[in-house]
Amino acid sequence: MKKISISANMLIYMAITKAAQKALRQSKRRRTVNIKRQINLKNLLKEVKILVSQKKIEEAKKILPQVYQILDKSAKVGLIKKNTASRRKSRITKLINKK
């Protein structure tokens, strides 16, 4: 990869070989997928926390399987670590059961 500087704080990487070009394409594609997954995860966790704060515990419990699923999938694909997923599941469940 060759760095090309446009301005003081902006760099563009230019792939030289075909393999590097393909790797760059794959990297961009994976990055967009990972960002979407991360946004979905954050939004779902926020939604559960909001429901709990509004005392809508039953609705929060209905969303809980989705939260588990997205956390497990995120850990599986390497978006977050396994223990992080486990810790977040534990804390969300504890939050719901406490109220």
Q: Does some domain include residue 40?
A: yes
Q: Does some domain include residue 67?
A: yes
Q: Does some domain include residue 73?
A: yes
pTM assigned to the model: 0.77
- pLDDT of res. 99: 67
Q: Does some domain include residue 5?
A: no
Question: Domain range holding 68?
Answer: 26-98
- pLDDT of res. 21: 86
Q: Does some domain include residue 3?
A: no
Q: Does some domain include residue 13?
A: no
Q: Does some domain include residue 91?
A: yes
Contacting residues for 42 by C-beta, under 8 A, at least 6 apart = none
Contacting residues for 15 by C-beta, under 8 A, at least 6 apart = 1, 2, 21, 23, 24
CATH of the domain at 61: 1.20.58.110
pLDDT digit string, tens, across residues 47-97? 999 999 999 999 999 999 999 999 999 999 999 999 999 999 999 999 999
β-partners of residue 4 are 12
